[in-house]
Amino acid sequence: MEPKFNLNRPKLSDEEINKHKNFDQLVKQFKQQSIDKAKHDKSWWKSKKFRYTAIITGTLVICTISYLDLFNNSSNKIVKHETNLTPKIQSKKSSVKKSVISEPSAKLKINYTSYKINNAKGGEIKHTTSSKIKVPANSFVDKNGKDIIGDVTIDYREFHDAADIIVSGIPMIYDSVGKKFNLESAGMFDVKGSQNGEPVFIKKNKQLNIELTSSVSENRFNQYYLDTVSKNWQYLKRDDKLTLLSKTNKLNTSKINHSISSPKLENLKNQIEVVIPRKLDSVKIVYAKKQTLLSKPKEPLKPNKPAPGRPTFVFDGSYHEFPELSVFNNVVFEVGEENKNYRSNMHDITWTDVKISEGPVKGKNYLLTLVYRRQVEKLIVYPTLTGKDFELAEKNYNQKFNEYKVLIEKREAQEKKLVDELQAKQTAYFTELTKKQKELDNERSSLIQQLKLNEQKQLNSSFNTLSNQTKATRLFSISQFGIYNSDCPHNENSGKIVNPAFVSHDNTHVVNPDALYLINHSSKTVTNISFIEGFKFIYDPSNSYSICVFSKNKLFICSKELFEKAVNNNKHQFTLHEITDNTESVMDLKKALEI
């Protein structure tokens, strides 16, 4: 016969209930117990200062969590997190999250040029590259929104080619609707303002006009702003307001107006920038909701027999008095091996109260709480069945499990159907987006060509003879400080995958990169290759490439010729030439990269 627990539960008085309601006393008691326990545990608490600091901190954390748990249902608060992103040079082994801007070299960098301008008067700043910053009067305020009095310091710098982009540490990946692009830059600048070391801000409803000189004259670029919080470029508008320059870099008397527009052009832009992206977002939301509505089959619990030699028991009590225990009729409970407090004489006690709650492993075991006066015992128990009860339960389980497998297969088929439908719609929208973009480019090209032919034939003739000197001025109107770019997005590299290895030019040692940049000279893009996947990259054999590597504060270059030789070698071993240690000029890097 199985041992039995006897139950005879007396009612609790109001006084006994109320004396356990003092939460402050509970916290005080718990804190004192934690400190006492910590003081007697000397196995690893070596430092007295550390020991008491950890005890107090741990107690505060636990009490705070307990307090929040108690009041979780009474209030819901939204906690707003803010991230302060500061450019730092970080090791690839660092556990600290990298900021969006990470300069690969402490020596090679493009410094800011500082200018002073009176806020009340405003004015025009001319940079060394002939770029201009036009500042309206009373354009700046402090952090409290009050007008700045006196001079403001404007710090400004520009980036124009692959070498500038590499040393800047500015990422050139653009994520648009989940699709990533490499950005080809026609010119980028970084501008900020301050007074006496404190940052200033551009006043609401005011804008600074930046005339950025550019060596690229094509009208195929967009304007972007680098959001350092979301770590992505924000699309601003088409960069179609160009002022073309003559050989002498002076403005011609007759300017080509590239502010082209037509009803068809505006409609195509709206389709690309608004309508189709909304459709893509909408279809994701719809199918995510459909997936949540699919039924989720619950796997039946398999019945168990008592383990040989383990202590077991059944309840012997009034189910009229304890109706919650009636569901365990005919159940034999096995005492788990993890119970260190179990004693065989527990079966001889007539317990005044018994509670069964969910155990540590949901659906597998239970927590049995036994109360007799001030004695409280807690046991982890496992429900089992014997004899005909087990045979019947096992038969029911097998039947339910077969039904469960059928439901699982049905759900998987429904999920696959939803995924296929989602992918089909997304593919259709991306196809439509590509088609609209092609139509937009053709329409814009047609309008530009017509304008050129009708208005500026002579200018075009002289412009085509220009070298890589400044060819155009790109116009930006900004309402906040930061980094801005005139970029043309290209699809991410596609073609052959390379798992590279790098050796010195004399083949005497292996070079382990800290940072690696792949320069596509055909598309004029720079890609910062991630070390997470072993600097693996993809290249298009029809394009021309070189590689820039930073390792242990040294700079290495794999030229176009050596790159082509390496990729034709199945081992994909790239030979690097070290740039001399005293190189501190970005111009040396430009020469090495053949820019």
Instruction: Return the pLDDT at 195.
Output: 95
Residue 463, φ and ψ in degrees, nearest 5: -65, -35
Give how far Cα 398 sits from Cα of 258, 347, 408, 411, 576, Å.
75, 34, 15, 20, 66
In this predicted model, what pLDDT tens digit does every residue of 415-437 receive, in sequence order? 899 889 888 988 988 899 899 89
CA atoms of 123 and 420, how far apart (whole Å): 59
Is residue 240 included in any domain, yes or no?
A: no
pLDDT at 363 over 80: no
Most confident among 76-90, 172-186, 322-336 (mean pLDDT): 172-186
- pLDDT above 90 for 200: yes
149 falls in which pLDDT band (50, 70, 90)?
very high
Q: Is the pLDDT of residue 117 over 70?
A: yes
Residue 525 forms part of a structural domain: yes
Residues spanned by the domain of 524? 495-592
**560 part of a folded domain:** yes
**Residue 105 pLDDT:** 85
Largest CA distance in the chain: 111
Each residue of 64-101: pLDDT tens digit? Answer: 444 434 334 433 333 333 333 333 334 444 444 567 88
Residue (of 5, 61, 1) closest to 31 by Cα position: 61
Q: Confirm whether 547 is domain-assigned.
A: yes
How large is the average pLDDT for residues 517-538? 87
The count of structural domains within the chain is 1
DSSP output for 188-212: EEEEEEEETTEE-EEPTT--EEEEE
pLDDT at 16 over 80: no
Give the bridge partners for 118, in sequence order: 151
The reply to whether 568 falls in a domain is: yes
Instruction: Determine contact, residues 472/460, Cβ cutoff 8 Å.
Output: no
Residue 346 confidence class, pLDDT cut points 50, 70, 90: confident
Does the pLDDT of residue 447 top 70, yes or no? yes
pLDDT, one tens digit per residue, over 397-409 is: 888 889 888 899 9
Q: How far is CA 343 from CA 84, 273, 285, 353, 366, in A?
A: 58, 73, 57, 18, 18
pLDDT, mean of residues 550-567? 89
Is the residue at 91 inside a domain? no
Strands 4-7 and 312-316 turn out to be parallel
Within a domain: 283: no
Higher pLDDT, 226 or 330: 226
- Helix H segments across 276-353? 276-292
Distance CA 448, CA 443 (A): 9
Tell me how far apart the alpha carbons of residues 313 and 562 are, in angstroms, rounded to a whole number: 79
Strand duo 515-520 + 208-214: pairing: unpaired
Q: What is the dihedral sign for C-alpha 36, 38, 40, 45?
A: negative
pLDDT at position 95, please? 45
In a domain? residue 534: yes
The lowest-confidence range among 191-205, 263-277, 467-481 is 467-481
If you average pLDDT over each of 46-60, 110-124, 347-361, 420-434, which comes out highest? 110-124
pLDDT band at 13 (very low <50, low <70, confident <90, very high): low
Q: Average pLDDT, whole number, for the chain?
A: 78
Model pLDDT, residue 329: 66
Q: Residue 50 above 50 pLDDT?
A: no
Cα separation of 90 and 87, whole Å? Answer: 9
Section 252-279 average pLDDT:
74
Q: What is the pTM of this model?
A: 0.49
